[in-house]
Amino acid sequence: MIVKLDKCIGCRSCEIACAREHSPSKSGERITADTRKALSRISIRTGLTNPTDAPEMRPRKGKSKTAITTGKAYPIRCRHCDDPKCVEACMSGALIKNEEGAVIHDPDKCVGCWMCIMACPYGAIKRDLENKIIVKCDLCLHRDTPACVEACKTGAIVCIVGEKSERQNESIAEGSG
Amino acid sequence: MKVSQRGLVEMNLDAQYKYVIIGNSAAGIGCVEGIRKVDKEGSIAVISEEKMHTYSRCLTSYYIAGVVDDEKILFRPKDYYAKKNVTPILGKKVVKILPEDNHIVLDDGTRIGYSSLMIATGASPVIYDIPGNNKPGVFVLRTYEDARRISEAAAPGKRAVVMGGGLVGLKAADALHAKGVEVWVIVTSPQIMSQTMDRDGAEILRKQLEENGIKVMTETNVEEIIGNKKVEAVRLSTGQTLTCDIVIFAKGVRPNIGLAKDAGIDTDYGILVDTHMRTSVPNIYAAGDVAEAKDFITGERYIHAIWPNAVEQGCIAGQNMAGRDVEYAGGIAMNSVDLFGLASIAVGFTRPRGKDHGYEIISRSIPEKKFYRKIVLKDGVIVGAICIGEVEAAGVFAGLIKRRANVSKIKELLLREDFDYAKVLGEGLIKDTSYFATA
């Protein structure tokens, strides 16, 4: 999964779509109590300064503990790394890298030891304190397109899995450098 | 490697494998996975004196608490060996390594040849020499069998004395407490978790334990275990006698280097390995709690006896054994423990002492939130971090340690509760090609 930074306006539609997709009732268009409780696997977080010309988030009201109200928005999510440190650290065998290249989490095996959180350099794994397990991006493998990609109004989040995305990253790096 | 029946007879061997792995835990399984990244075909044997399918030692305390059962303690699926095309040789002990002949001998006399060998024999708990240390009711916690025995002994109304305030001791204490056992933790040092946590952090964790009913005594030793046929009490260095039914030795582990040493392989505290996880014998490798490998921060050899390092070292060794050239960047200390819902993570070098010069320490504590964070820097680079309460950023700190990123520019941000990877990107500290501007 890659992010076209200049296109992300920090609207958080991806977060809502992700939470909704991972809520027990998959509450459709409406946001219900269980969507609110469900955790989004992608987070819009903000850097304080803006190294690109990308749009900044507008100041928001609210008490979210994560809220820095201004700054450039960065969607933070699992990259399904080639050499996933979270899988290496997972002592319960709940995290595995499957043959398609996705890093998959088995909530039944997870014991909430937070070792993966300690190992992920992107801070892409969250704690679900109610169930004492972690949650992370599952690439919406049950869907054709991940919910966040579908919900992104500006086309900032692009999903490519496995080798393809590696190649894409390289060409981007070459292109911009 | 295929060897004809005649070949085996000539070499006086019972079996021959391309790869032989002694050890069936984190480093051993990491090694299997490393080999299979490169070589899908080569024959692999995994040998362990334990009969159990590969399980997680870190889950043994969860087993005592009843959080995981015989099924969930396995950290790879039941069909794992078949799927990876591995021959498990379980319940057999390796008694000898013969490096000149490239074979090993099992306790039943079986001789097994190898092209390359992995020694992942791990470590064993240390039982200190005090009177009464062999009485029924005295336990260590390392293996599945240990956990099973403790869990049989643990029942509501009993009392346990846990010797040692490290990770194993505290996890054992937590598990016993969950089973309704009254628990005392007796610690020699002035603080709990003296290997991984600084004094302030340890104090927060101690409070958390005590608020939840676990008693902690620091700067105290158990001097004698008293009892006729079984454990009845312990005598402490304070002179006090504590009646108890269970004593757990959790005062550290020692690497199992005997086999390697007898085979003439270079050892010090552990088995000495280079950055390819090779021992002093070229086709013999070592990984995990037994291996003294490069430390990322100092560059010296050190044993960080922790799960993630064991898996990583095993995986690197496995790839090298299979012919790929992979170098180990070095290990860092990394520990995570959740005590009664209070998460704490310590990574890297968190406790510079008086003799260590040139370190800068910044920290922040919000007692009402049980939030504590400490960052240790050297020349603008993070070398250690402690997170208590809010731990989501711990991995980002670990990543910054490994990248040796200079964080001078964002020093004030590091202690914010909402510090995250976006702050790192926002300040342009890291070039991350999965984020880019199309313009």
Owner of token pair 């014998």: B281
Owner of token pair 């097994």: B112
Residues of A in contact with B324 (CB under 8 A): none
* C-alpha–C-alpha distance, residues B219 and B215, integer Å: 14
B269: its two tokens: 């505290």
- Mean residue pLDDT across chain B: 94
Structural contact between residues B94 and B118, judged by C-beta atoms closer than 8 angstroms: no
Question: Which DSSP state fits B238?
Answer: T
If DSSP codes are grouped into helix, strand and coil, which group holds residue B20?
Answer: strand
Residues of B in contact with A65 (CB under 8 A): 417-418
Confidence band for B101, pLDDT divided at 50, 70 and 90: very high
**Alpha carbon of A83: minimum distance to chain B alpha carbons (Å):** 10
Query: What are the E-state strand segments in B396-437?
Result: 435-436
If DSSP codes are grouped into helix, strand and coil, which group holds residue B336?
Answer: strand
Mean predicted confidence (pLDDT) in B387-409: 95
Task: Give the type of residue at A169.
Answer: N
* C-alpha–C-alpha distance, residues B86 and B35, integer Å: 11
Confidence band for A67, pLDDT divided at 50, 70 and 90: very low
Task: Give the type of residue at B260.
Answer: A
Question: Which of B315, B395, B434 lies closest to A2 in CB terms?
Answer: B434
Question: Which of A66, A119, A169 lies closest to B308 in CB terms?
Answer: A119
Q: Which residue is closest to A109 within chain B, CA to CA?
A: B72
Confidence band for A3, pLDDT divided at 50, 70 and 90: confident
User: How many CA atoms lie within 13 Å of B66's alpha carbon, on the beta-carbon side?
Assistant: 8
Residues of A in contact with B167 (CB under 8 A): none
- Taking the model in full, what pTM does it have? 0.91
Task: Give the type of residue at B200.
Answer: D
Mean predicted confidence (pLDDT) in A89-105: 94
Region of poorest pLDDT, from A33-37, B212-216, B418-422: A33-37
From the CB of residue B4, how many other CB atoms can be counted at a distance below 10 Å? 9
Cβ–Cβ gap A121/B334 under 8 Å: no
Mean predicted confidence (pLDDT) in B290-299: 96
User: Which of the pair, A126 or A37, is modelled with greater confidence?
Assistant: A126
B238: its two tokens: 């304070």
- Alpha carbon of residue B405 to chain centroid: 27
Rounded to two decimals, the ipTM of the complex is 0.93
Q: Could you give the residue ranges of the DSSP H alpha helices within B45-108?
A: 60-65, 80-83
Query: Of A5-14, A167-176, B99-108, which one has max mean pLDDT?
Result: B99-108
Return the pLDDT at B103: 96
Percent of chain B with pLDDT over 70: 97
- Alpha carbon of residue B257 to chain centroid: 16
pLDDT tens digits, A112-148: 999 999 999 999 999 999 999 999 999 998 888 899 9
Question: Which DSSP state fits A58?
Answer: P
Structural contact between residues B151 and B160, judged by C-beta atoms closer than 8 angstroms: no
Q: Is the pLDDT of residue B51 over 80?
A: yes
Q: Is the pLDDT of residue A173 over 50?
A: no
Confidence band for A56, pLDDT divided at 50, 70 and 90: low
Helices B26-38, B307-321: axis angle to 10 degrees equals: 30
Q: φ, ψ for residue A5 (rounded to 5)?
A: -60, -40
Confidence band for A65, pLDDT divided at 50, 70 and 90: very low
A31-62 burial, b at 16+ Cβ within 10 Å, e below that, comes to eeeebeebbbbbbbbbbbebeeebbebeeeee
**Alpha carbon of A26: minimum distance to chain B alpha carbons (Å):** 26
Question: Which of B26, B341, B439 lies closest to A6 in CB terms?
Answer: B439
Structural contact between residues A37 and A66, judged by C-beta atoms closer than 8 angstroms: no
CB pairs under 8 A between A and B: 176
Return the pLDDT at A164: 42
CA angle A143-A145-A151, nearest 5°?
Answer: 115
Confidence band for B5, pLDDT divided at 50, 70 and 90: low
Q: Is the pLDDT of residue B341 over 50?
A: yes
Confidence band for B110, pLDDT divided at 50, 70 and 90: very high
Mean predicted confidence (pLDDT) in A85-103: 94
Enclosing H/E stretch for B160: strand B159-163
Confidence band for B357, pLDDT divided at 50, 70 and 90: confident
* C-alpha–C-alpha distance, residues A116 and A118, integer Å: 5
One DSSP character per residue, B344-370 reads EEEEE-----TT--SEEEEEEEEGGGT
Q: Among B336, B57, B405, which residue's Cα sits nearest to residue A119?
A: B336
Structural contact between residues A123 and B392, judged by C-beta atoms closer than 8 angstroms: yes
If DSSP codes are grouped into helix, strand and coil, which group holds residue B172?
Answer: helix
Region of poorest pLDDT, from B99-103, B117-121, B425-429: B425-429
Task: Identify the bridge partners of residue B215 per DSSP, sorted by sequence position.
Answer: B184
